[in-house]
Amino acid sequence: MRIAILGAGHWHVPMYLDHLAAIPDVEIIALADPSEEAREAALSKMAGARAYADYRVLLDREEVDLCFAHAPHDEMTALAADLVDRGQPFHMEKPLGLDWRALAVVAEKARHQGLFISVPLVSRYFGVVSRLLELRREGRLGEPVYFSFRLFAGPPQRYLEMHVPWMLDPAKAGEGPLFNFGPHATDLFLALTGLQPQRVYGWSSHALYRIAIPDLVGYVIEADNGCQGLCEVSYTAARGYERYFSLSTTTLDYGGSVEAGRIRLRDGSELAAEGMGSDEAYGAYTRDVLRRFAAGEQPIAGIDDMVAVLRVLNAVQRSLAERAVVEV
């Protein structure tokens, strides 16, 4: 399988390279990035790949099976639209853009083509989440009542060290952690509950770092059945990632790690949820994407899922601006 890396300087790219290199019959044939520095750094990790400043030239010259595509958030939808127009299957980092309506137009074109587009909403691979999704497919999850997902990640200055300063620019990255980590929190709510969001209320804080993007964004999603989901994403952790998760339904309760734990059923019994941890999620995702693409299957999460997520995030944006509850 011939792979091309677009936006090779994006900080997510290293999360995939080692996993791609470990998969038999997979070859990274080319990479593209407008930054010469980023191209040189990427070439040191992708021996034998050909480098291009313009991804369009790469796609015109190379025979590519699957692209791993990355870009600043405000450029993602245009990149996705071009790839769809070319009929080029691809993976693209979330959030795929900053405007759900613009992305929905691209998604509709892709749907008509049956084009393979995978989005790394990797929280679906965590052990507890995977078990809960399995229970939902089996009809054993019950009606969701309460949900919470809180993710605290290291300070935003790391994006300067990673040579992606645009991550600190609201015009290019949106409201900081809302568009960086909010897709994970929102997608978990949508995927686990299967409910239609009706209203959101959001709040944010700039108190810690006092830069253009917020340190923290919190929001509550209220669904059509009255279920409420609390989401909190931030750059307030000293280092690494801290995640706190809970779900209560009419049949079960869970609170604790997304990686492994025991789900309590209301009849007094328990179910063990073991397996995928957060550190392993990107490897599992990479292998799963390539397997599904080779088998002609659709990905576990795609562009339509991201349209639904982005619609909620845009509503949170409006709520932050208006300091009010808004309709989704």
| Radius of gyration for the chain, computed over Cα atoms and rounded to the nearest angstrom | 20
Q: What is the pLDDT of residue 117?
A: 98
Per the prediction, the chain carries an average pLDDT of: 96
Instruction: State the average pLDDT over residues 201-230.
Output: 97
Q: Which two tokens stand for residue 185?
A: 């929190």
Instruction: State the average pLDDT over residues 186-195.
Output: 97
* pLDDT band of 277, cuts 50, 70, 90: confident
Which one-letter amino acid corresponds to residue 313?
L
Bridge partners for 270 per DSSP: 264
C-alpha 251/C-alpha 267 separation (Å) is 8
Q: pLDDT tens across 8-39, in order? A: 999 999 999 989 999 999 999 999 999 999 99
Domains 2-118 and 122-280+302-327 share a fold: no
C-alpha 125/C-alpha 19 separation (Å) is 16
Share of the chain above pLDDT 90, in %: 95
Q: What is the pLDDT of residue 294?
A: 97
Burial code (b: 16+ CB inside 10 Å, e: under 16) for 281-292 equals: bbbbbbebbbee
Q: pLDDT tens across 290-308, in order? A: 999 999 999 999 999 999 9
* pLDDT band of 222, cuts 50, 70, 90: very high
Tell me the angle at which helices 182-193 and 303-322 cross, rounded to the nearest 10 degrees.
120
N-term to C-term CA, the chain: 40
Instruction: State the average pLDDT over residues 118-128.
Output: 96
* pLDDT band of 67, cuts 50, 70, 90: very high
**Quick count: other Cβ atoms within 10 Å of Cβ 148?**
19
Give the C-alpha distances (Å, rounded to integers) separating 246 from 84, 139, 230, 232, 291: 37, 19, 10, 13, 31
Bridge partners for 31 per DSSP: 5, 51
Instruction: State the average pLDDT over residues 191-198.
Output: 97
Q: For the chain, what are the domain ranges?
A: 2-118, 122-280+302-327
pTM, whole model, 2 decimals?
A: 0.96
- Nearest to 73, CA basis, from 89, 53, 55, 92: 92
The yes-or-no verdict on residue 313 having pLDDT over 80 is yes
In what order do the strands lie in the sheet containing 66-69? 50-52, 27-32, 2-6, 66-69, 90-92, 117-118
C-alpha 11/C-alpha 186 separation (Å) is 22
Bridge partners for 201 per DSSP: 220
Q: What is the pLDDT of residue 240?
A: 81
Q: Domain 122-280+302-327 falls in which CATH fold?
A: Dihydrodipicolinate Reductase; domain 2 (3.30.360)
Superfamily of domain 2-118: NAD(P)-binding Rossmann-like Domain (3.40.50.720)
The yes-or-no verdict on residue 279 having pLDDT over 80 is no
